[in-house]
Each structure stands twice: as C-alpha cells, then as structure tokens.
Structure 1
C-alpha cells in the first residue's frame, strides 16, 4: 500500500494484480512525506507499529482508515487494481510452486489441492480481492477508482490523470510463465473458484470468460 499526502491518494495493493509494476511507477512521483508498506523486492514499513508488524504491504483499507482519520481517508482518492478471479487463481497456483515444474506438469491437481484439499485460508494472496477493499459490512466498496489488470496501462493512465501525476509505461514485474488461464480448468474447478470468489465476481463484474 502507498499513501501519498502530497498527491492525496491511497493505493491499495491487491495481491496478484500487478501491484509491483504500479508501485514502481508511483514511487517516482512520491514526496518526502509520502509513505509505503511493502515486503517484496523493497522493504518499507508504515510509521504505525501495529501495521508495520504485519510485514507485507497488502493491507486493507479498513486497516489504515483509523490511522489516517476520517478527513484524510474520505478526502484522498483511493484506488486499486483487480483481476479476473479465474485468471488470478491460476496465477496464485503457479506463483506458489515457482522454482519447479510441478504446476506445469500437473496444473489441475495443484489447483484442486489449493481449492479443495488444503485451502490456505489465511494466506493473504489466497483471500478474495474484495476483502481488502470493502467496508465492515463486506459489501460497500471503499475505493473511488478500480483499475483492471486486463487493461492495465489504460487503467493506470486514467488513474494518473485523476490524481494529477504523469503516467508512464508500466514494467512487467514478478510475472509467471503460463498459458491462457481458461485451458487449466474443468467444470469442477470453474464451480469451485466461482463459489470461493463469488464476491469478487459480483463486485467487479467478471465471469469465467472475462469482464461481463
């Protein structure tokens, strides 16, 4: 997550949505008083001990709200990027088994393991995207703007225009090598992901084929 007091924005970094590419670009525009929490590639912590102790940068907007106060939280432009949950789940599985060829050799077995066998319920990368972006009621989005990974550069350009900073081409960072997500699925896996990430599908307008 990045909080820019100089440009009055909050970037909520949803895992597996190209957040490191966006962070790299945003850092070029940050001022001395702007703050970031991240734990991969760069190690930065927020100035609040409770949040700094979490160690990673995928904090929810609900978590930072009390530390900023209602005036700043309400007045800052809050945005995030989201991704088709079916594509994101494949990316998650490939990421978790990076460094070997297990996912490439038996992708559906791996996907079934994470989805049905031993789902890592508390792993931040596995949790629904909406969990970082909704209010306490679990339904109301706290973000003012949503970018889509499927049109990432255009989304980033529009967000930069809205917050008043120059845009630039986004770099590819921390990606995984794999094919089209749809070829990894059978009907049981489609139904399983649709059930687990129903909130993401509903809030962000995705179907198995893409944006609705």
Structure 2
C-alpha cells in the first residue's frame, strides 16, 4: 500500500496484479511525508501498529479506513488494479509452488489441490480481489480500478487523474506460466468460478 499526502491518493496493492511494477513507478513521485508498506525487494512499514504488524503490503481499504480517518479516506483518490480471476489463479499456483517446481510438472494437479483439497484461505495472495477494495457490506471503496489486461493504459489514466507524469511500467515478480486458458478443464473452470464468483461479477470478467 502507498499513501501519498502530497498527491492525495491511496494505492492498495492487490496480490498478483502487477503491484510491484506500479509501486516502482509511483515511488518516483512520493514526497518525504508519504507512506508505504511493503516487504518484497525493500521493507517499509506504515506508522500504525495494527497495520505494521500484518507483515505484508497488501492492506485492504477497509483495514486502512479507520486508522486514516474518514476525512482523509473520503478525500483521497483510492485506486487498485484487478485481473481476470482465471488468470490470477494460474499465476497464484505458479507463484506458490515456484521453489518446488510442481506447477511446471503437473499444473492441473496443483490447481486441483488448491481448489479442492487444501484451499489456502489464510494466504493473502489467495484472497478474492474484492476483499481489498470493498467494505464489509460489499460497497466498493475504490474510486478507480485499473486492469492488468490493459496495464499501461490504466496506469496512464490514473496518473492523469492524480496529476503526476506517467512512465512505461516495467515487470517485477512475475510468475512463469503459459496462456491461462490452456490449463483448464471444466471442473477447474467451475471451481474457480465458484471461489471467485464475486470478483467475476463485480469486475466484469469471464473465462
């Protein structure tokens, strides 16, 4: 997460949506009083103990709201990036097993394991995307959602909105896998559709 008092924005980093590329670009424009929480590549923590102790940078807008306060939360431009849940799930499976190499050997076996045998609901990267940008009652808290599928154009539009110059986004911490549709059979499609049903509905994605 990045909170810019200078430019009056909040960027909430949904896992596996190109967040580190966006972070790297945004850091060029942060002022001395701006805040970030992140663990990968660099380590920075927000000044609020209840958020700092989470130990990761994927903080939801609902978690930030009570500590930032209603005046700043309501007045700051809040944005995130979202991704097709079917592709994001493949990326998660490749990421979570990268050290063992099991996804490369048996991708559908890994996908079935995470969907049907031992879903890692405790893992922040596995959480549905809407949980990072919605209130507990389901209200969308973000003012704008970029899309990974049109990453640069989305970032350009966000930069225009917050009044900073855009720049070409790089790639960071990306998972290695083929085109996502090639991994699916009907059972896996149905499993992901059930698991991330709200994301598919809210963000307008389909297989």
1:178, CA displacement in angstroms? Answer: 1.2
Residue equivalent to 1:45: 45
Residue 99 (structure 1) shift: 2.9
Deviates more, 1:198-207 or 1:99-108: 99-108
Counterpart residue number, 1:70: 70
SS in structure 1 of the partner of residue 51 of structure 2: helix
Q: How many residues align?
A: 207
Deviation at 1:50, TM superposition (A): 1.0
Tell me, what secondary structure is at the counterpart of 2:139? coil
1:165-207 residue CA offsets vs partner (Å, 9 max, x unmatched): 0100001000122110000000000000000000100000000
Q: How many Å apart are 1:100 and its aligned residue? A: 3.8
- Tell me the residue number matched to 2:30: 30
Q: TM-score, normalised by structure 1?
A: 0.96
Tell me, yes or no, if structure 1 residue 146 matches structure 2 residue 145. Answer: yes
**Misfit runs of 4+, over 2 Å:** none
- What's the CA shift for 1:122? 1.2
The reply to whether residue 179 of structure 1 matches residue 178 of structure 2 is yes
Per the TM alignment, residue 105 of structure 1 is displaced from its structure 2 partner at its CA by 1.4
Q: Which runs of 5+ in 2 are unaligned?
A: none
Q: Over residues 146-167 of structure 1, what are the superposed CA-to-partner deviations in whole Å (9 max), with x where a residue is unaligned?
A: 0000000000000000000010
User: Secondary structure of the equivalent of 2:125?
Assistant: coil
* TM-fit CA distance, 1:144: 0.2
Partner of 2:79, secondary structure, is strand
1:96 and 1:2 map into 2 onto residues whose CA distance is 25
Cα distance in 2 between the residues matched to 1:8 and 1:46 = 16
Q: CA deviation at 1:93?
A: 0.2
1:77-88 pair list within 5 angstroms:
77-88=77-88
1:112 aligns with 2:112: yes
2:74 match: secondary structure: helix
Following the alignment from structure 1 to structure 2, what is the Cα–Cα distance between the partners of residues 157 and 79? 13
